[in-house]
């Protein structure tokens, strides 16, 4: 009898009791509304169940009731750290549907804006990785330069974060002179700042010890989980939509695709860091290609691009067009089109079904965050809680894009 009791107790001892820990929904370390119910064994994570949808705003449904031009503002709010990329991705989707060809100058101007947005996005992600390892200085320092980028956006479109920049067919107006001056200034001064930021973290022993080996993923697994963008490249695969399916004349530019090896936090950080340098180089090349005095800032699509205001007030035809465009009464071709751009987080795709009506029949956003955040439990299993926080910020999961 006593022997039997001993066996029973041994079995009981092997059954571990895990502590359930609610990380989020509003935890300061998760930078957004993310909930993860963790099963903890001491400080080791054994299981995680993410809950998402806290800021779901039904964009796909809303888009079915909005004329094409009004959907741009919805895309702002996907990845709000780099909204110009989303805006232009959507505009390019419609242009693809309409078979509109843009002048080279406009395409290059778009590239400048999209690459500035990418830098802003990567600044946020990388500096926040720094914050989560305990280095607040880099964050406060480099954020001034994100501010400079937002000033450039502001001078072009009037808004900073949710930009609604550009129109179907080009830009809303000619860029003012101060924009060119500000971009020149940014190109001149930012490399030095970025170097300083890098020297703060890149070869910092504490930072390296914290990040190398944290939250790694193998390339095969990353593909199965639908990773794209910097996170996939950090795992060692050189997939970049700008190269494989160039849009907006990306084929005119020479740039490298940085890739990592281990797919861990450090590699993701390094890939984003190098991408910022590549983006700077792309902007420099684009600035050389653009003729600043040329008055072209949109394609010749009178059916979709609003006529100038003076004309609307003085010209009957222009007034009619203005009204028709605003009310979405133009002829839209019937067809299904998919267009993808390389967003801050990966392949941002727009699948648009048009039945010829004034609004999309069906619009589906391929949101990179939503797809790769599924891998998060697998990435953090067996690691410490502090590594989980770090892994999340290095994956650059943006709540707006996650929840659409």
Partner 1 sequence: MAVLTPEQTMALHDEVLAALKGKFGEGILSSSCEYDFPVFVVDKDIMHDVLVFVKETPSLNYHFLTTMCAMNYPEKTGNEFAMMYQLHNMPENKRIRFKTFIPEQKLEIATITDIWPAANWMERQEYDFFGVNFIGHPNLIRILNMEDITFFPMRKDFALEDPTRDDKNDSMFGR
- The contact set with partner 1 (CB under 8 A) reads 52-53, 56, 58, 60-62, 64-65, 96-97, 223-226, 237, 239, 244-247, 251, 327-329, 335-338, 340, 347, 349, 351, 353, 357-359, 362, 364, 366, 370-375, 403-404
Would you tell me the crossing angle of helices 83-98 and 104-132 to the nearest 10 degrees? 150
Q: Smallest distance, Å, CB 199 to partner 1?
A: 35
Q: What are phi and psi of 203, to 5 degrees?
A: -110, 25
Consecutive H or E run containing 354: strand 347-355
Cis peptide before 80 (omega within 30 of 0): no
Outline where DSSP puts E strands in 85-159.
none
Name the residue nearer to partner 1 (CB basis): 246 or 307: 246
CA 299 to chain centre: 26
Cα dihedral 370, 375, 379, 384 sign: positive
> Which C-beta is closer to partner 1: that of 90 or that of 370?
370
Would you say 182 and 152 are in contact if contact means Cβ atoms under 8 Å apart? yes
**Closer CB to partner 1, 21 or 58, in the complex:** 58
**Residue (53 or 382) nearer to partner 1, CB:** 53
CB closer to partner 1, 191 vs 236: 236
Least distance from C-beta 163 to partner 1, angstroms?
25
Cβ-based nearer residue to partner 1, 60 or 303: 60
- Closest-CA residue to 373 (of 222, 218, 268): 222
| Partners of residue 348 on adjacent β-strands | 341
Burial of 47 (0-12, 13-18, 19+ CB in 10 A): middle
In the sheet where 35-41 sits, what is the strand order? 19-23, 35-41, 44-51
The Cα–Cα gap between 44 and 381 comes to 8
We find the least distance from the C-beta atom of residue 20 to partner 1, in angstroms, to be 18
Cβ at position 325, least distance to partner 1 in Å: 13
Distances in whole angstroms, Cα of residue 364 to Cα of each of 8, 58, 66, 81, 404: 56, 11, 14, 20, 10
CB 64 within 8 A of CB 353: no
Distance CA 383, CA 266 (A): 15
d(CA 343, CA 403): 16
Nearer to partner 1, 63 or 157 (CB): 63
* Between 136 and 334, CB nearer to partner 1: 334
CB closer to partner 1 out of 153 and 376 = 376
> CB atoms < 10 A from the CB of 366, how many?
17
Cβ proximity to partner 1, 107 vs 273, nearer residue: 107
Minimum gap (Å) between residue 320 Cβ and partner 1: 16
d(CA 346, CA 217): 16
Q: Residue 253 to residues 27, 135, 248: CA-CA distances in angstroms?
A: 41, 35, 11
Q: How far is the CB of 127 from partner 1 (least distance, A)?
A: 28
């Amino acid at each position: 009898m006593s022997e039997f009791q001993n066996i029973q107790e041994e079995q009981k001892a092997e059954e571990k009791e895990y502590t359930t820990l609610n990380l989020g929904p509003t935890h300061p370390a998760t930078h957004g509304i993310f909930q993860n119910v963790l099963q903890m064994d001491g400080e080791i994570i054994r299981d995680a169940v993410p809950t998402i949808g806290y800021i779901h705003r039904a964009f796909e449904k809303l888009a079915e009731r909005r004329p094409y031009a009004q959907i741009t503002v919805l895309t702002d709010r996907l990845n709000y750290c780099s909204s110009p990329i989303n805006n232009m991705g959507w505009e390019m989707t419609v242009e693809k549907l309409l078979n509109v060809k843009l002048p080279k100058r406009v395409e290059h101007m778009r590239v400048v804006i999209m690459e500035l947005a990418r830098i802003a996005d990567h600044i946020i992600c990388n500096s926040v990785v720094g914050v989560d390892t305990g280095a607040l200085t880099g964050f406060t320092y480099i954020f001034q330069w994100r501010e400079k980028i937002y000033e450039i956006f502001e001078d072009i479109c009037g808004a900073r974060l949710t930009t609604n920049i550009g129109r179907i067919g080009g830009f809303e107006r000619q860029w003012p002179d101060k924009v060119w001056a500000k971009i020149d200034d940014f190109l001149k001064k930012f490399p030095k700042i970025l170097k300083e930021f890098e020297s703060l973290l890149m070869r910092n022993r504490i930072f390296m010890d914290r990040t190398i080996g944290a939250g790694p993923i193998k390339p095969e697994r990353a593909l199965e989980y639908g990773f794209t963008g910097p996170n996939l490249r950090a795992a060692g695969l050189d997939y970049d939509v700008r190269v494989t399916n160039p849009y907006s004349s990306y084929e005119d530019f020479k740039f490298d695709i940085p890739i990592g090896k281990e797919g861990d936090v450090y590699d993701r950080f390094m890939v984003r860091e190098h991408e910022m340098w590549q983006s700077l180089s792309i902007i420099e090349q684009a600035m050389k290609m653009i003729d600043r005095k040329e008055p072209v800032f949109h394609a010749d699509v009178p059916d979709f691009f609003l006529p100038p205001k003076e004309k609307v007030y003085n010209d009957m035809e222009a007034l009619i067009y203005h009204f028709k465009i605003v009310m979405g009464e133009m002829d839209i071709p019937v067809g299904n089109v998919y267009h993808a751009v390389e967003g801050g987080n990966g392949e941002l795709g727009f699948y648009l079904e048009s039945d010829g009506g004034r609004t999309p029949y069906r619009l589906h956003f391929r949101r990179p965050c939503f797809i790769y955040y599924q891998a998060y439990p697998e990435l953090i299993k067996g690691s410490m809680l502090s590594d989980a926080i770090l892994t999340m910020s290095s994956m650059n999961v943006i709540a707006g894009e996650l929840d659409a």
